[in-house]
C-alpha cells in the first residue's frame, strides 16, 4: 500500500489548484492547518475509525468545529493556535471566514473516500505547493499600538501590491515608536514612525 504522503499528494494538489485559481489560498490553508491538528488528536482519530459514524457526520464534525471555534467566536484554543501560526499572537480579535461550500465539498470527498486521516499530510503538501506556486515574503511590522483588523488589511494589501508577492505579516508592538510603524522586508527597512521622524528632524536641525 502507498504511504500516507503519496496518497495525500493528489488531494493537496487539487486543493491548491482550486484555491489558487479562486483567490482563497489563505482560507484553505487556515482550515487545513486546524483540521490537521484535530485529526492528530488520538481520541478524534479513533472516532474517525468508527464504522458506525457516517462519512457525512465525520466531515460535518470537522467543518462545525472550525466554524464554531475559529470562524465564529472571539477567542478559543483553536483560534489562538491559528493566530500563533500566522504571527498574530496578541490579536484575539483576528477574524476568519466560515468554511465555504467548495471547501466543505472537498472535506466531504475526503470523508467519503475514507481519507480524512490524511489531512496532516494534505496540509504539508498544500504548503509546499503554496511555497512553489506563490512568491511569498515575510514582512516584520512594528507599531506603537496593536494593529486593528482594518490596519492589518491595509498593510497586507499595500505591501502585496508594492512587492508583487504574497506577504506574511509578523507583528510586534513597541510603544517607544510613539506612533506610526516600521516595516522590514528582507534587507529593506521603512521607518514611518513618529520616533523616526523626530530623529530625522533632530538630525536636520543639528546639521
Query: What's the number of domains the chain is made of?
Result: 2
Residue where one domain finishes, among candidates 71, 102, 133: 133
One domain for residues 125 and 155: no
Residues 36 and 107 in one domain: yes
Q: How far is Cα 155 from Cα 138, in angstroms, rounded to an integer?
A: 12
Determine the pLDDT at residue 13: 93
pLDDT at 89 over 60: no
Indicate if 167 and 178 belong to the same structural domain: yes
121 and 169 in a single domain? The answer is no
pLDDT of residue 200: 67
Which residue, of 104, 133, 162, is where some domain finishes?
A: 133
128 and 140 share one domain: no
For residue 125 the three cell numbers come to 503538501
User: How buried is 51 (Cβ within 10 angstroms: 0-12 exposed, 13-18 middle, 19+ buried)?
Assistant: exposed
Do 179 and 193 touch, CB atoms closer than 8 A? yes
Q: Are residues 35 and 108 in the same domain?
A: yes
Residues 110 and 13 reside in one and the same domain? yes
pTM: 0.65
State the average pLDDT over residues 61-81. Answer: 89
pLDDT band for 1, please (50, 70, 90 cuts).
very low
Q: Are residues 162 and 120 in the same domain?
A: no
Strand 166-173: give its sheet, edge to edge: 166-173, 136-143, 181-185, 188-191
**Confidence label for 14 from pLDDT (cuts 50, 70 and 90):** very high
Indicate whether 122 and 167 sit together in one domain. Answer: no
State which of 113, 133, 153 marks the end of a domain: 133
What's the chain's average pLDDT? 85
pLDDT of 203 > 80? The answer is: no
Q: Are residues 8 and 99 in the same domain?
A: yes
Q: Which structural domain, as residue segments, surrounds residue 11?
A: 4-133
Would you say how long the chain is, in residues?
A: 207
Amino acid at each position: 500500500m502507498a504511504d500516507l504522503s503519496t496518497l495525500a499528494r493528489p488531494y493537496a494538489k487539487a486543493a491548491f489548484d482550486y484555491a489558487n485559481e479562486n483567490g482563497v489560498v489563505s482560507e484553505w490553508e487556515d482550515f487545513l492547518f486546524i483540521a490537521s491538528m484535530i485529526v492528530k488528536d488520538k481520541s478524534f482519530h479513533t472516532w474517525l475509525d468508527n464504522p458506525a459514524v457516517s462519512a457525512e457526520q465525520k466531515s460535518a464534525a470537522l467543518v462545525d468545529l472550525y466554524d464554531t471555534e475559529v470562524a465564529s467566536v472571539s477567542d478559543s484554543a483553536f483560534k489562538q493556535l491559528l493566530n500563533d501560526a500566522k504571527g498574530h499572537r496578541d490579536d484575539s480579535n483576528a477574524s476568519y471566514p466560515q468554511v465555504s461550500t467548495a471547501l466543505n465539498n472537498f472535506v466531504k470527498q475526503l470523508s467519503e473516500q475514507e481519507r480524512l486521516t490524511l489531512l496532516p499530510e494534505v496540509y504539508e503538501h498544500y504548503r509546499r505547493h503554496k511555497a512553489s506556486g506563490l512568491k511569498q515574503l515575510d514582512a516584520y511590522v512594528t507599531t506603537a499600538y496593536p494593529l486593528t483588523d482594518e490596519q492589518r488589511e491595509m498593510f497586507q494589501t499595500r505591501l502585496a501590491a508594492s512587492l508583487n508577492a504574497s506577504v506574511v505579516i509578523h507583528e510586534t508592538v513597541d510603544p517607544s515608536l510613539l506612533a506610526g510603524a516600521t516595516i522590514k522586508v528582507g534587507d529593506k527597512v521603512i521607518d514611518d514612525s513618529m520616533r523616526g521622524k523626530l530623529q530625522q528632524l533632530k538630525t536636520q536641525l543639528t546639521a
